Structure 1
Amino acid sequence: MSPKLIVSVIFVGIKLVFLGGCASRENFSQQQESYLLEPAARIPAAVQTLPGVLKIRHCRAVAPFDGQYFLYRTRTGQFQQDYYKLFLTPPNEQIVEHLRQALSASGLFTNVLPASSAMPPDYTLEPHLLAIYCDFSDANNPKTVLKMHFVLLKTDPSCHCSTIVFENTYESIKSMPGRTGSDIILSFNDNLSNLLSTLMSDIARKAK
């Protein structure tokens, strides 16, 4: 489903609920545009499965990237919110769900658990969202930026403690095909696909 189709469905739902189905063309155009992240790239299956269960903790987002509105970096380096374009749910929540799905599909671990699971894990992944924004500081070369930090911990049952297997910061920068909401979310999707692919390659290599 394309970003435009998702937005159209959301708008119709909003208009029907709040305006009783009466939607003028003028009011429709003033509605907020809400988008979902949908990384396009398929993650390749792992060559081998690590013997253990992985739990992914909640993804924490640092300010000002802990909200839902699209953020634009201006020529002065300041960030401005776009109150008419936003993520349907906080991006850190969307990212951690895509991360869980990708790791589960890859077969890299025996099982991948959400943060809410009570099952004791063999590994724990801590994701941190450091930045997600549109960079318009160069008007001729607009880009989207996604930056995250990950810490992978391995549980030692003998001491009920954990040791760091690896930690790393990843940054993906992509040129935007245009300036519409659909252009922006497609570029963010490329950011996320690239970041997930690189992260899982590193996990497979360093968690052996």
Structure 2
Amino acid sequence: MTGPFVTRRAGLLALPLLAGCSVLDRPYVETLRYPLQPARPAAMPVAMPASAVRGGRPRRPTLMIRGLRAAPGLDARGLRVIRADGTERLDPYAEWVGPPNELVEEQLRRWLAASGLFGGIVAQGTRARTDLVLEGEVTALEADLRDGQSRAGIAVLLLAGDDGGGGRVVGQWAVIGRAPLPASTNPDGPPPGAIAASGTEALAGALTALEDALRAHA
């Protein structure tokens, strides 16, 4: 009885070793990480400071930006591709450097600060006077192979701040930026670097559209 028992035990012990060999033999694939930092076009208008306006002008409002939420499916870092057949793919080895909604929020702050539309851009929890409050959601950040474009979408509410408005809705917009994708015969689309660059360009378009919408309230 000891012979078969020993033989069987030895065979069972060998199984993990064999499984371990298959893992060790798997080739290492480096994960690529891409920033999401759209460049503001130099030709875009910048609001003039109040001191430069003849006759004076009331101070520019202070804007609070609350954290942008992520729409379902947009909380993952992997580059998101919609294939020609409509199926979705998250690249396991190519991703943004952070959660997309957090990266878009950071770039929204930088973009609006550079616009000169507001006297200040502050974060939630500040004790500074807040005239307007912006909150919203990142609704799209994807490469769509069906039309050969990347899309970046943001939906926002603009609310009255500390002026006694009591959170009254001042404006509501859903903006989408688009950018072309390079042609590719790969069913998963062009290389990750091209997808990330196209997504960044699409976000620049969305931020431009949002700035234009907010201009009337600055």
Q: TM-score range by the shorter chain?
A: 0.7 to 0.9
Whether contact under 8 Å (2:63, 2:121) holds in the other structure is yes
SS of match in other structure, 2:75: coil
Identity of aligned residues (%): 24
Whether contact under 8 Å (1:70, 1:85) holds in the other structure is yes
Which residues of 2 match residues 1-208 of structure 1 at below 5 A?
27=28, 30-42=29-41, 43-47=44-48, 51-136=60-145, 138=146, 141-155=147-161, 157-158=163-164, 161-177=166-182, 179-205=190-216, 207=217
SS of match in other structure, 1:183: helix
Residue 104 of structure 1: how far off its partner (Å): 1.2
Q: Partners in 2 of 1:67 and 1:31 — Cα distance?
A: 18
Q: Partners in 2 of 1:162 and 1:133 — Cα distance?
A: 32
Residues 131-165 of structure 1: per-residue CA shift (max 9 Å, x gap) = 111112x3xx5321111101111125346x12111
Q: Partners in 1 of 2:105 and 2:171 — Cα distance?
A: 18
Aligned length: 176
Q: Partners in 2 of 1:121 and 1:91 — Cα distance?
A: 26
Whether contact under 8 Å (2:176, 2:205) holds in the other structure is no
Whether contact under 8 Å (1:147, 1:170) holds in the other structure is yes
Letter in 2 for 1:170: V
Give unmatched runs, 5+ long, in structure 1. 1-25
Q: Partners in 2 of 1:113 and 1:156 — Cα distance?
A: 13
Structure 1 residues 174, 118: closer, same or farther in 2, change over 3 A? same
Q: Partners in 1 of 2:162 and 2:130 — Cα distance?
A: 10
Give the aligned CA root-mean-square deviation in angstroms: 2.0
SS of match in other structure, 1:152: strand
SS of match in other structure, 2:61: strand
Q: Partners in 1 of 2:159 and 2:70 — Cα distance?
A: 19
Relative to structure 2, which stretch is displaced further, 161-170 or 39-48? 39-48
Relative to structure 2, which stretch is displaced further, 116-125 or 94-103? 116-125
Q: Partners in 2 of 1:109 and 1:86 — Cα distance?
A: 33
The structure with the larger Rg is 2
Q: Partners in 2 of 1:123 and 1:174 — Cα distance?
A: 30
Give the structure 2 partner of residue 4 of structure 1: none
Give unmatched runs, 5+ long, in structure 2. 1-26, 51-58, 184-189
Residues 50-97 of structure 1: per-residue CA shift (max 9 Å, x gap) = 632110000100110111111111233232211011111011111111
Bigger strand share: 1
SS of match in other structure, 1:51: coil
SS of match in other structure, 1:125: strand
